[in-house]
């Protein structure tokens, strides 16, 4: 009787899942009268927000499996196929990434992008403002990246990023990329948002100018000018490692299989445009008298031909 009841009981993470769902429903019922009375948030907006949250519960279920330390421990000790499907042994004993109250910390796509920047770009101090690059651009980067996608697209990417961080069991920048280097399957998932962002630069020159303009606008209050040199450093740090998978015919075929037909060719064209542009920018310009001078920063020149921010691919 006991053994039969054990095998038919739902696994712990399913019970936790139902508990959390009940808590959110209770939270909705408790706060709805207050929002209605104060008028701080309309009923339709609140109901829509809660509806979206509840609609995501099926997708959140695997996360409960991976962050449940008890389940992971039982999986390791039982060595059974059923238990092992609840979570691996590698992340047991570690705290999963915590989603803080700040909106930027809930944006795990940007969190992944920033971890790549910190892992590959050394900090540099602006001698005039004292701002530290790339840290100073993080708020502007979040807003500029999200503007490249429709809301539902970004939500789906963010759900995948949260699942990735929980499977890694850490959100420490250096540790994330050490683990991704050892886990090919997770590395494929981690590269997905980077590829999707890079593909937004198919019309490279036009979209580069729009990106720089948006970053400059977003960072104006911080008195930081996002210039051509920053864009090149950012582009290399975010997408440079994708070049390795495009060097061989086999690598390009794998890229198309993993991310969609034609992805490799599109990425190669973007890299070609970027490399050509960087080479052009490195050539000094001639001024009156035949002297040569470095090219001025893009932020100091007019940026004609930029697409409106509302026009998204």
pLDDT of residue 74: 46
- Per-domain residue ranges of the chain: 13-77, 102-283+296-301
Residue 80's pLDDT is what? 39
Max CA distance (Å), the chain: 97
* More confident: 47 or 87: 47
Structure-model confidence comparison of residues 113 and 104, the more confident one: 113
Q: Answer for the pair 201, 270: CB distance below 8 angstroms, yes or no.
A: yes
Q: What is the pLDDT of residues 121-169, one digit of tens each?
A: 888 876 666 778 888 999 899 999 999 999 999 999 999 999 999 888 8
Structure confidence at residue 109 as a pLDDT band (50, 70, 90): very high
What's this model's pTM, rounded to 2 decimal places?
0.60
pLDDT for res 46: 73
* 183 pLDDT above the threshold of 70: yes
Q: What is the pLDDT of residue 285?
A: 54
How many Cβ atoms from other residues are within 10 Å of residue 10's Cβ? 9
Q: What's the pLDDT score for residue 50?
A: 73
Is the pLDDT assigned to residue 265 strictly greater than 60?
yes
Give pLDDT, residue 97: 45
The alpha carbon dihedral of 253, 257, 258, 264 has a sign of positive
Better-scored residue on pLDDT, 267 or 31: 267
Tell me the pLDDT tens digit for each residue of 22-80: 666 666 666 667 666 766 767 777 777 677 666 655 555 555 555 554 444 444 444 33
Q: Mean pLDDT lowest for which of 29-38, 54-63, 96-105, 232-241?
A: 96-105
**Does the pLDDT at position 205 exceed 90?**
yes
Q: Are 197 and 213 in contact (CB under 8 A)?
A: no
pLDDT, averaged across the chain? 74
pLDDT of 271 higher than 90: yes
- Name beta bridge partners: 293: 285
Radius of gyration of the chain (CA): 24
Alpha helices in 199-289 (DSSP H): 204-218, 228-239, 249-259, 263-282
> Is 83's pLDDT higher than 50?
no
For residue 57, the Cα-to-chain-centroid distance in whole angstroms is 21
pLDDT at residue number 8: 53
Give the whole-angstrom CA distance, residue 143 versus residue 19.
34
Report d(CA 190, CA 171) in Å as an integer. Answer: 13
State whether the Cα torsion 152-142-188-164 is positive or negative. negative
pLDDT for 250: 94
For the chain, what's the residue count?
A: 313
Tell me, what's the pLDDT at 16? 66
Given this model, what pLDDT does residue 193 score? 95
């Amino acid at each position: 009787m006991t053994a039969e009841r054990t095998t038919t009981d739902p696994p712990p993470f399913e019970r936790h899942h139902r508990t959390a769902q009940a808590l959110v429903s209770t939270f909705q019922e408790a706060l709805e009268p207050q929002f209605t009375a104060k008028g701080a948030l309309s009923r339709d907006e609140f109901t829509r927000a809660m509806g979206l949250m509840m609609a995501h519960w099926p997708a959140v279920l695997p996360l409960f499996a991976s962050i449940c330390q008890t389940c992971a421990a039982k999986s390791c000790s039982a060595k059974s196929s059923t238990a092992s499907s609840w979570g691996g042994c590698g992340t047991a004993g570690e705290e999963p990434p915590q989603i803080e109250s700040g909106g930027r910390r809930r944006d795990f796509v940007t969190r992944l992008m920033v971890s790549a920047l910190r892992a590959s770009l050394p900090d540099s101090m602006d001698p005039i403002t004292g701002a530290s690059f790339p840290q100073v651009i993080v708020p502007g980067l979040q807003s500029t990246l999200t503007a490249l996608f429709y809301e539902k697209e970004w939500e789906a990417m963010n759900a995948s990023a949260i699942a990735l961080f929980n499977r890694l069991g850490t959100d420490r920048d250096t540790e994330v990329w050490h683990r991704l280097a050892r886990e090919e399957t997770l590395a494929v998932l981690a590269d997905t948002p980077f590829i999707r962002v890079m593909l937004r630069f198919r019309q490279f020159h036009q979209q580069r100018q729009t990106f720089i303009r948006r970053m400059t606008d977003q960072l104006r209050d911080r008195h930081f000018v996002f210039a051509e040199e920053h864009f090149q450093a950012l582009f290399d740090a975010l997408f440079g490692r994708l070049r390795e998978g495009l060097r061989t015919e086999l690598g390009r075929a794998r890229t198309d299989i993993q991310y969609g037909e034609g992805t490799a060719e599109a990425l190669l064209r973007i890299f070609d445009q970027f490399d050509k542009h960087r080479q052009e920018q490195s050539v000094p310009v001639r001024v009156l008298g035949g002297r040569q001078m470095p090219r001025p920063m893009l932020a100091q020149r007019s940026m004609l031909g930029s697409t409106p921010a509302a026009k998204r691919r």
